[in-house]
Amino acid sequence: MLWSTQLLLLSNVAFGLQIPLQLTAPSNAAKLSTSLISFSIEQDRWTDWAGSTSRNDFFYNTLNNLGQLTGTPPQIRIGANSEDHTNYDPSLQFSQATFPAPSANVPYPEATKIAVGDGYYQSAKFLPPNTHVIWGVNFGSNNLSSAYLEAKSILKAFSSPEILDAGIKLDALEFGNEADLYKNNGLRASTYNISQYATEWLTFATNVSTSLKLSPMSIPKLWAASFAGSSHSTSGFSPQAIFNQGVLSSPVAPLISTISQHRYSGSFCSGSSGLLQDLMTKSTIRGNLTDLQPDIAAVHAKGLDYVLGETNSYSCHGAPGVSNTAGAAIWTLDYLLFASQIGISKVFFHEGIGFKYNLVQPSPLPRSTLDGTALPAPLAPHIQPQYYAAIIAAEAIGRPSGGTVAIELKIDNIRLAGYAFYDGATGKVSKVLLINSQAYFSGSTASRGSIDVSFSFDASGNAPKRMSIKRLSIPHADDIVDLKWGGQTYETADGKVVGELQVEVMDVTKVVSIHDTEVVLLSFS
């Protein structure tokens, strides 16, 4: 067995890989949302993202870039840790917040106390037209009156003419963030359990929805769960457990549209860091996400949508030298697309001002995101490497009239992942995305490797004749700048793309080389 495995690996190196490719979409192809890649925003500094008295053009442009590619802006979830520390104050126009002192591990901590006024929620008007929003409401404080006042102000904002005219919609309210951790962070007693959670959540959801006259026939709906982890059983915190507790047999059940769970690949909370190659590795990504399959199946069995409402590389804002690097872009793309293959409809990558794993840094930063030291001059708004993964995914999904479906390709190589994209109306293959997750580091003395690939088409129809090739050029996996997608860059002062587009065109029978730490998108004609 060992000898045959070695022979297979040697043949891959010497002769390349031949990947079977179906010309028409198989019946199990996953339908991709045009907002598959979406954003979760820490709400304590929401107006730093959107703007307060005027629009944050940099953030707007980065969202608009994605919306132009798919026809739909990313969805925005506003909440997370700080949603359970936020209270409404009618005397405020925007917000006031109290923050802990920064540290080397957490240079930009979340606020411990936030008070917000109507203008805070009304800043959603600065999002791109037709953006859909999910807003988190304080459940951690266990103050029903406060939650009602928050929700009332949120609904008031989304009923304003400016927001209505722009087609910006409040899709859902989310009561509480990671309630399974309340017993650890002081928001509940150490004995807090799923039965207590379900009882309290139903009280909040029922009272607020009734008071605000929410209707099952309209939006907003409700997100439920939003747990940090899962017991995958009815005895701990999990979707199965809240179903067992009767959440879906309650009067508020018709308002519940979505079950959200959170997922990270590891933790940096106490200063431990993950290796970049480990993060990027194909098997690690699949092992991390497939752990959620029992939960996904249970949610779908109830006819509900399942999303990763908060996710990213390493929790507690990311690991320096890992989460902020080009290698993290490789991870993001494979993670996102594999998630779609196991029934996750949308993936909300978490963002916060100064967080290491951000796709976008939307405002000037006075301190280093890596160790909290003061910078000689504020760091201007900028995108980070992971943003390229969002652009590539959006381009692969595109905007065909019949939508897009995709399958993961069967590739017998531990470093190469691939996905085929099909036009949902015609069923014909349109694109293939190949991701080489072998890390090539700046200190490497070895020559950069590559994998040669060719395709064998099935006999179900006429095979395409030509393919155009775009590459994500990454100097090194541990670099943080100088990436280029098809020769173009988004590392600009306004977040808009510049540079001359570079595309190779060749016959589909030719071999394509994918270098270590590289992404290649093939478009067929």
* Range in 6-15, 48-57, 439-448, 460-469 the model is least confident about: 6-15
- Please report the beta strands in 56-139, taking only residues with DSSP state E, as ranges in sequence order: 76-79, 86-88, 95-98, 113-116, 132-137
pLDDT at 9 over 80: no
DSSP state letters, 225-268: EEESS--SSSSSSSHHHHHHTTGGGSTTGGGEEEEEEEEEEEE-
Tens-digit pLDDT profile for residues 185-216: 999 999 999 999 999 999 999 999 999 999 99
- Among residues of the chain, what percentage have pLDDT more than 90? 91
For residue 378, with 0-12 CB atoms within 10 Å meaning exposed, 13-18 middle and 19 or more buried, which class applies? exposed
Tens-digit pLDDT profile for residues 235-267: 999 999 999 999 999 999 999 999 999 999 987
Q: How far apart are CA 347 and CA 308, in angstroms?
A: 5
> 437-454: buried (b, 16+ CB within 10 Å) or exposed (e) per residue?
bbbbbeeeeeeebbbebe
Task: Report strand pairing: 30-32 vs 305-315.
Answer: unpaired
- Token pair of 385 as six digits: 């490497």
Give the Cβ contact number of residue 510 at 10 Å. 12
Residue 475 and residue 487 in contact, taking contact as beta carbons nearer than 8 Å: no
Within the chain, all domains assigned CATH 2.60.40.1180 are found at 2-28+402-524
Place domain 34-397 in its CATH homologous superfamily: Glycosidases (3.20.20.80)
Residue 81 and residue 136 in contact, taking contact as beta carbons nearer than 8 Å: no
74 to 33, 69, 169, 309, 349: CA distances (angstroms): 10, 11, 12, 13, 11
Whole-number pLDDT of residue 274: 72
Whole-number pLDDT of residue 266: 84
Class of domain 2-28+402-524 (CATH, top level): mainly beta
Residue 453 and residue 17 in contact, taking contact as beta carbons nearer than 8 Å: yes
Work out the end-to-end distance of the chain between its first and last CA atoms, rounded to an integer number of angstroms.
41
Q: How far apart are CA 203 and CA 25, in angstroms?
A: 45
Q: Among 341, 347, 384, 345, which Cα is nearest to 37's?
A: 347
Q: How far apart are CA 514 and CA 95, in angstroms?
A: 49
Read off the pLDDT of each residue in 378-391 and give the average, rounded to a whole number.
98
pTM: 0.95
> Residue 79: phi, psi to the nearest 5?
170, -110
Whole-number pLDDT of residue 272: 62
**Torsion angle, CA of 479/332/315/490, rounded to 10 degrees?**
50
229 to 120, 178, 184, 336, 480: CA distances (angstroms): 30, 8, 13, 19, 30
Tell me how many degrees the CA angle 327-332-338 measures, rounded to the nearest 5: 130
**Torsion angle, CA of 420/426/430/435, rounded to 10 degrees?**
-20
pLDDT at 7 over 70: no
| Peptide bond connecting 220 to the previous residue in cis, omega within 30 degrees of 0 | yes
> Mean of the per-residue pLDDT values for the chain?
94
Residue 187 amino acid letter: L
- Among residues of the chain, what percentage have pLDDT more than 70? 96
If you search the block for the tokens 């270590």, which residue do you land on? 516
List strands edge to edge, sheet with 512-515.
Answer: 17-21, 450-457, 512-515
Tens-digit pLDDT profile for residues 397-411: 999 888 999 999 999
Q: Among 422, 419, 424, which Cα is nearest to 409's?
A: 419
Within the chain, all domains assigned CATH 3.20.20.80 are found at 34-397
**Torsion angle, CA of 4/12/453/456, rounded to 10 degrees?**
-30
Read off the pLDDT of each residue in 501-522 and give the average, rounded to a whole number.
97
User: Which residues, at least 6 apart from 31, have a Cβ–Cβ distance to it below 8 Å?
Assistant: 403, 404, 405, 424
Helix (H) or strand (E) segment spanning residue 37: strand 37-42
* Cα–chain center distance at 176: 19
Helix (H) or strand (E) segment spanning residue 182: helix 182-185
Q: How far apart are CA 42 and CA 351, in angstroms?
A: 6
* Range in 150-159, 329-338, 394-403 the model is least confident about: 394-403
* Confidence at 135, pLDDT banded by 50, 70, 90: very high
Rounded (to 5) percent helix, strand, coil in the chain: 30, 30, 40
Tens-digit pLDDT profile for residues 62-82: 999 999 999 999 999 999 999
Helix (H) or strand (E) segment spanning residue 307: strand 305-315
Phi-psi region of 172 (alpha: psi -120 to 50; beta: other; left: phi over 0): beta
